[in-house]
Structures are given as C-alpha cells and as structure tokens.
C-alpha cells in the first residue's frame, strides 16, 4: 500500500494515484439522523466550476446579440453546427434532432471536464470510473428503454445481424447479446481509462524527470529530453481530451439510433 | 361561326407564355384546347355524313307503308336541340367577373404585404448601420421571428431550413 | 485503484446527474433557442435584402 503522509490539507503527492483522490472540502456529519455524511467534495466543486464556466462562456460570447459575429460567437456557432451535424448524421435527420440538447450538453460536459483536468494541479473529474459508468449505463439503458417503447418485443431483432445463415443464428444472437451488454461498460470505461492513463503517465514521468533534473548540471541538460517528451505528451493529452468527448457523443448517438431504428 | 374562327385565330402557345401561366392553369388551358379541337373534329366528321333520308326508296322496298309514313312524319318534325349558347356565355361571364374580383383581392393583399415589408426594411436599414444590427431589433421589427423560434424549439427542430445552403456550414467535421 | 473505489460514490453520482440535468434544462430553455433565433433573423434579413435587390 502507499505510505500516507497526509496531514490536514497537505497534498499527498507520493503516489501517482493520489491526484485522483476525492477529498472533502466542506462536510456535515449527522451522527443522529441516519449517520449521514453530506459533503461538498473536490469533485463536486470542479464539476460545478465546469458547469459555471459553460454558462458564463455562452453568456459572454453573444456579442451583444449582433447579427454579425465576432470570433467568440463564431466558435460557439461552430460548436453548435458540429454537434448538430453529428446528431443529424448519426440519428435520423428529421426526427433525431429532438435529442440535440442532450447530446450538446453531454459533449460540452465531458469536454470541459477533460480540459479542466488538463490544467496543472487541477482535478480530472472524468477519470473517475463511477462518473463515467453512471453516464454510460444510464445512456445505454435509456436507449434500450426507448427501443422497447417504440418497437415492443420486436426490439430483439437488433440482436440478429443482417444476412446471417440460419444455422449460426443461436450462436450469433448470443454473441450479439453479450456485445450489447458490453456496450454499457465499454462506453464509460473508454473515457475514464484514457484520461486516467494519460494523467498517471504524466505524473510518473514528471516525477522521474524532476529527480533527474535536480541531480546536477549535466543531468539538468539531460533531463530536457524527457521534459520535451512530457510537453509533447501533454499536447497529445489535450487532443485526447477533445477526441474522447467526440467519440463518446458519436457512440451515444449511434446507440440511440440503434434503439430507434433497429439497424 | 364566330366561336370557331376565334378558336382558330388564338395562338395557344403564346397565351401560355405571355401570361406566365404555370402548372394547373396551363394544364387546364391545354385541356380546354384539346376539347375544342376534338369537338370541332367530330363536328366536321358529322357534317360530311348525309342528313336527308330517301323515303321514296324505303316506300318501294318495304311493305308496311304506315311505318314509313310514321317515320317520315317524325323526321320532318325533328329539330336538332338547339344549344343554348346564351346560357353558357352568361355563366362564363359570371365566372370571369368572379375571377377578376379574386385576382384584385389577391393583388391588394400582396401589395399590402409588400408595403409592409418595405417599411420594415427601411426601418431596419436606416435606423442603424448594418454591422451593428442586433437580433433584438430584428425581432422587435418582425414579431414572427419569436413565434417561429418557439414553434421550432417546441417541435424539437434545432436548425433553420435553408440556412446551411445560404450561410455555409461552420461545423468542424 | 483505491482512489476510484471509495465511499464517495453517491456523492459523485448525485453531483454528476444534478449538474447534467441543470445544464440540459438551462441550455434547452435559454441558450440554444438563442441560436435558433439568431439563425432565423439572419435568414429573414437576407430574404429582405434579396427582395429589395431583385425588385
């Protein structure tokens, strides 16, 4: 186990996993009523900051409501158009637009929380498996319920791929069923694992690089090589933050389409 | 007769293009022309057939003279049913008056709309230079924009039809 | 991964769903219709200009 030097309020940076710890900021203990422990944790705090940031950016980029847009407006419009094109291309072009606000807020939620995690000494909320699994389970179960509502028991035709020979049918249905169940986990796991792996790697590398660079002058110059790798990898991490959000949203739209259209 | 020669003189193709008729009106004009042609052709055919009956020949051949007398009497008393042209002409005139009234009403409505739009445009253009125009001003000048917004949003459509072709697609993908 | 399996589950999930629900509500009620309004007014102005140019 990791040695734990945590004094109150002192950041425990001995292990690469300590950056993902959930800590209480303000908490209320009720030993009388149901022994509850209600708290504002650091993850709640950063999630709230993310939501606040989203709303503030949308408010500030309206350019006094002018028709002609300045650069901020154009970036917000571009985001709108991007997600709208994802929704119309993945789900039905006519009836699928009704899911647009949900997909928009999902994308922006994941994007902003990923990017907040990229800030040094900040906290990556999407690296917590509970959060991403909660999202992905909700989305896949929701899409399944949508499918059952629309198609009744015919929804199980989703498990029969098109054009398969009749003899292989039982085996194929079983495999498709298992892969359908695996969707729940894979959607959430993909996001959390990518973010966790990136942050852990950066943490470990920077620990080594610090040790190297603080050992002497020659080592200082030698340490510039892993330092440049760290910088390049941070750039990659930024790209991964954006791409993972986009992949999550595209897959969500695809699962909703499966529920609505059954292939 | 007057009707026939008028039909011959009418250049149907020119009417269609000069009045800018389209679609249903042009199709009904075509149908009318076809009916006229058909009727004229049939009339021509029928005119070439003989209209008198040779009764002397029938008296000689048939034994029953009473039948021939009867038929001859009926034949002489026969008069082709006159087609009451006047009633048709009156109906056409009434229809024409009605159509003119409708057209005038439409013209008035269109004129009113045009004047309204021009006024709106002048308001919008003169009040402020174009770059500073805000959405709120446009919405105040044209209240249908707010109604359309709520209609589109409640129906769940988040894009305006025809926007992408006109203003370009800003999406990154 | 001990940090990701503590007893803050309920806390995390509550915050997540609350934040996402509030965001969906605020976006779909106020912010996204603003975009639609902007697009509609741009279309309207360009139609007016078209009409006045082609008069």
Q: Measured between CB atoms, does B166 come within 8 Å of chain C?
A: yes
Q: A-chain residues within 8 Å CB-CB of B130?
A: 68
CA-nearest residue to A75 within chain B is B170
Residue to test with chain B: of A85, A98, A105, A243, most B Cβ within 10 A: A85
Collapsed DSSP state (helix, strand, coil) of residue C52: helix
Residue A245: pLDDT over 80: yes
Encode pLDDT of A132-190 as tens digits: 999 999 999 999 999 999 888 888 888 888 877 888 888 999 999 999 999 999 999 99
User: DSSP of B9-24, one letter per residue?
Assistant: H--HHHHHHHTT--HH
Encode pLDDT of B81-136 as tens digits: 666 677 888 888 888 888 888 888 888 888 888 778 777 777 766 665 667 777 88
Per mean pLDDT, which range of A8-22, A63-77, B10-24, B96-110 is the poorest? B10-24
Domain locations along chain C: 6-54
Per mean pLDDT, which range of B87-91, B152-156, C33-37 is the poorest? B87-91
Shortest distance between the Cα of B106 and any Cα of chain A, in A, equals 34
Residue B49: pLDDT band by 50, 70, 90 thresholds? Answer: confident
Tokens 């973010």 correspond to what residue? A195
Instruction: List the chains bordering chain B where 3 or more Cβ pairs fall under 8 Å.
Output: A, C
Residue A191: pLDDT over 60: yes
CA-nearest residue to C37 within chain B is B149
Shortest distance between the Cα of A37 and any Cα of chain B, in A, equals 41
Are the beta carbons of B120 and C51 separated by less than 8 Å? no
Query: Which pLDDT score is estimated for A126?
Result: 93
Counted across chains A and C, CB pairs separated by less than 8 A come out at: 87
Q: Which residues contact A140 (CB under 8 A, 6 or more apart)?
A: A183, A184, A187, A255
Residue A57: pLDDT band by 50, 70, 90 thresholds? Answer: very high
Tokens coding A71: 């650069």
Collapsed DSSP state (helix, strand, coil) of residue A37: strand
Distance CA B139, CA B144 (A): 8
Residue B145: pLDDT over 60: yes
Encode pLDDT of A78-134 as tens digits: 999 999 999 999 988 887 789 999 999 999 999 999 999 999 889 999 999 999 999
Counted across chains A and B, CB pairs separated by less than 8 A come out at: 46
Q: What is the ipTM of this complex?
A: 0.91
Are the beta carbons of B158 and A68 separated by less than 8 Å? no
Residue B32: pLDDT over 50: yes
Are the beta carbons of B133 and A68 separated by less than 8 Å? yes
The predicted model gives C31-50 an average pLDDT of: 87
Are the beta carbons of B169 and A77 separated by less than 8 Å? no
- Closest Cβ–Cβ partner in B131, B135, B170 for A81: B170
Residue to test with chain C: of B123, B151, B163, B170, most C Cβ within 10 A: B163
End-to-end CA distance of chain C: 72
Query: Which pLDDT score is estimated for B127?
Result: 63
Are the beta carbons of B171 and A78 separated by less than 8 Å? yes
Distance CA A117, CA A249 (A): 19
Distance CA C4, CA A130 (A): 7
Are the beta carbons of B159 and A78 separated by less than 8 Å? no
State the Rg of chain C over Cα.
Answer: 23
Are the beta carbons of C32 and B158 separated by less than 8 Å? yes
Tokens coding C52: 């006045």
Q: A-chain residues within 8 Å CB-CB of B172?
A: 78, 82
User: How crowded is residue A237: how many other Cβ atoms within 10 Å of its Cβ?
Assistant: 20
Range of the domain at A25: 2-260
Q: A-chain residues within 8 Å CB-CB of C28?
A: 101
Shortest distance between the Cα of C44 and any Cα of chain B, in A, equals 8
Query: Which pLDDT score is estimated for B13?
Result: 63
Q: Please indicate whether residue A195 or residue B26 has the higher confidence score (pLDDT).
A: A195
- Closest Cβ–Cβ partner in B118, B153, B166 for C36: B153
Q: Please indicate whether residue A53 or residue B114 has the higher confidence score (pLDDT).
A: A53
Distance CA B88, CA B94 (A): 10
Please, what is the average pLDDT of chain B?
A: 77
- What part of B 115-154 touches C (C-beta under 8 Å)? 117-118, 120-121, 124, 133, 135, 138-139, 142, 145-146, 148-150, 152-153
Distance CA A223, CA A220 (A): 5
- Closest Cβ–Cβ partner in A65, A82, A100 for B136: A65
Are the beta carbons of A74 and B171 separated by less than 8 Å? no
Q: Measured between CB atoms, does B1 come within 8 Å of chain A?
A: no
Query: Which pLDDT score is estimated for A241?
Result: 94
Question: What does pTM read for this prediction?
Answer: 0.72
Q: B-chain residues within 8 Å CB-CB of C44?
A: 138, 142, 145
Are the beta carbons of C39 and B120 separated by less than 8 Å? no
Number of compact structural domains in chain A: 1
Are the beta carbons of C35 and A100 separated by less than 8 Å? no
Residue B19: pLDDT band by 50, 70, 90 thresholds? Answer: low
Q: What is the dihedral of CA B19, B24, B27, B33, to 10 degrees?
A: -70
Q: Specify burial of residue A255 (Cβ count, 10 A radius: 0-12, 13-18, 19+).
A: buried
């Amino acid at each position: 186990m990791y040695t734990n030097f945590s004094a109150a309020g002192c950041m425990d940076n001995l292990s690469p996993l300590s950056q993902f710890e959930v800590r209480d900021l303000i908490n209320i203990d009720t030993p009388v009523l149901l022994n509850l422990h209600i708290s504002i944790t650091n993850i709640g705090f950063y999630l709230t900051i993310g939501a606040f940031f989203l709303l503030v950016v949308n408010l500030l980029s309206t350019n006094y409501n002018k028709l002609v847009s300045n650069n901020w407006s154009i970036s917000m419009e571009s985001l709108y158009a991007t997600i709208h094109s994802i929704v119309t291309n993945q789900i039905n072009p006519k009836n699928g637009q009704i899911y647009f606000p949900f997909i928009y807020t999902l994308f922006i939620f994941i994007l902003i929380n990923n990017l907040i995690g990229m800030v040094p000494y900040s906290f990556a909320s999407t690296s917590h498996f509970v959060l991403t699994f909660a999202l992905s389970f909700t989305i896949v179960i929701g899409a399944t319920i949508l499918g059952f509502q629309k198609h009744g028991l015919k929804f199980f035709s989703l498990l029969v791929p098109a054009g398969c020979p009749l003899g292989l049918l039982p085996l194929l249905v079983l495999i498709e069923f298992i892969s359908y169940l695996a969707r729940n986990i894979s959607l959430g796991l993909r996001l959390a694992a990518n973010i966790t792996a990136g942050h852990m790697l950066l943490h470990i590398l920077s620990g080594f690089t610090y040790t190297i660079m603080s050992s002497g002058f020659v080592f200082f110059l030698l340490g510039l090589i892993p330092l440049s790798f760290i910088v390049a990898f941070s750039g990659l991490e930024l790209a991964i933050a954006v791409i993972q959000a986009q992949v999550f949203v595209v897959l969500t739209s695809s699962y909703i389409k499966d529920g609505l259209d059954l292939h | 007769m007057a009707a026939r020669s008028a039909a011959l003189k009418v250049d149907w193709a020119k009417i269609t293009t000069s009045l800018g008729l389209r679609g249903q009106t042009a199709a009904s004009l075509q149908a009318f022309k076809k009916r006229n042609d058909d009727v004229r052709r049939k009339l021509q055919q029928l005119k070439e057939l003989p209209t008198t009956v040779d009764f002397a020949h029938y008296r000689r051949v048939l034994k029953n003279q009473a039948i021939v007398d009867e038929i001859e009497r009926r034949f002489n008393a026969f008069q082709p049913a006159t087609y009451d042209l006047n009633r048709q002409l009156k109906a056409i005139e009434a229809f024409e008056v009605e159509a003119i009234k409708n057209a005038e009403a439409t013209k008035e409505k269109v004129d009113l709309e045009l004047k309204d739009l021009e006024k709106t445009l002048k308001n919008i253009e003169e009040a402020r230079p174009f770059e500073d125009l805000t959405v709120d001003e446009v919405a105040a000048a044209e209240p249908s924009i707010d109604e359309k917004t709520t209609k589109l949003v409640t129906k769940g459509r988040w894009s305006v039809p025809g926007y992408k072709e006109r203003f370009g697609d800003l999406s990154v993908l | 991964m001990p940090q990701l399996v503590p007893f803050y589950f309920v806390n995390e999930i509550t915050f997540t769903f609350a934040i996402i629900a509030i965001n969906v509500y605020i976006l779909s009620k106020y912010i996204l219709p603003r975009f639609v309004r902007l697009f509609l007014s741009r279309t309207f102005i360009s139609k007016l200009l078209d009409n006045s140019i082609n008069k």
